[in-house]
Chain A
Amino acid sequence: DIQMTQSPSSLSASVGDRVTITCRASQSITRSLNWYQQKPGQAPKPLIYAASSLQSGVPPRFSGSGSGTDFTLTIRNVQPEDFATYYCQQSFGTSWTFGQGTKVDIK
């Protein structure tokens, strides 16, 4: 199975900061990488699909990049509503897997 390693596991940021989260796959997954945001008590919400495509309705301060094994989620000008946990997820193989998650909280 393809393993996904996310880092960091948590980070603190101030409103207006730029935040970067990385995700590494154990083998090449081309661009089959998605990012989700989850807030407490809620189901995950898709943000980015196919490594860099913005889901409809998601603010453009969110962006994704990467291909192969290394991927990045960037949040520019972090807003109060962005404090949440973020997960990467690969959809390359027949079995999908998630990264461990990155909790973004207020500094």
Chain B
Amino acid sequence: QVQLVQSGGGVVQPGRSLRLSCEASGTVFSRYVMHWVRQAPGKGLEWLVLISSDGTTKHYADSVKGRFTISRDNSRNTVFLQMNNMIIEDTAVYYCAKVASRAVTGPNWLDPWGQGTLVTVSS
């Protein structure tokens, strides 16, 4: 059974940085694209970023481009989200998620998801 366990959330001041981690088990982690998604309090889901299986390709949402950086360490089965120059609007629950299929083309979706970690940006 594939499981994603997240860590690294907490309270951070505006302008500061925070790094989230997401460790996978029960799968060959290095074969799958990974994503981060967030959800502000009482709001909907916002897709943030994906990283290819080998870590060479990354795509970001405009809302975080230039401030957030995704990376992965396949030897540790872990994907990271480095968040810099944080703003109040970054307050949210952050989820990592694995794509369901290894296929490069064709349908794909997010399954499973991590448990989510709350990040609060406040002075």
Contacts and interface: CB of A to CB of B under 8 A. Distances in A.
A101 B45 contact: yes
Which of A45, A50, A96 has the most CB atoms of chain B within a 10 A radius of its CB? Answer: A96
A99 B111 CA distance: 18
Contacts, number: 63
A42 B86 CA distance: 25
B4 to A, nearest CB: 9
Given A43-B95, A96-B50, A91 B109 contact: yes
Given A87-B45, A96-B50, A98-B45, A43 B113 contact: yes
A44 interface: yes
Contacts of A46: 100, 109-111
B26 interface: no
Interface in A52-102: 53, 55, 85, 87, 89, 91, 94-101
Main secondary structure of the interface of B (DSSP, over half): strand
Nearest to A32: B107
B31 to A, nearest CB: 17
Interface residues of A, number: 26
Nearest to B62: A1
A101 B44 contact: yes
A31 B45 contact: no
B115 interface: yes
Interface string A24-51: 0000000110101010000111100110
A99 B100 CA distance: 20
B61 A95 contact: yes
A34 B46 CA distance: 14
Interface in B34-73: 35, 37, 44-47, 50, 59-62
B47 A96 contact: yes
B50 A44 contact: no
Interface of A: 1, 31-32, 34, 36, 38, 43-46, 49-50, 53, 55, 85, 87, 89, 91, 94-101
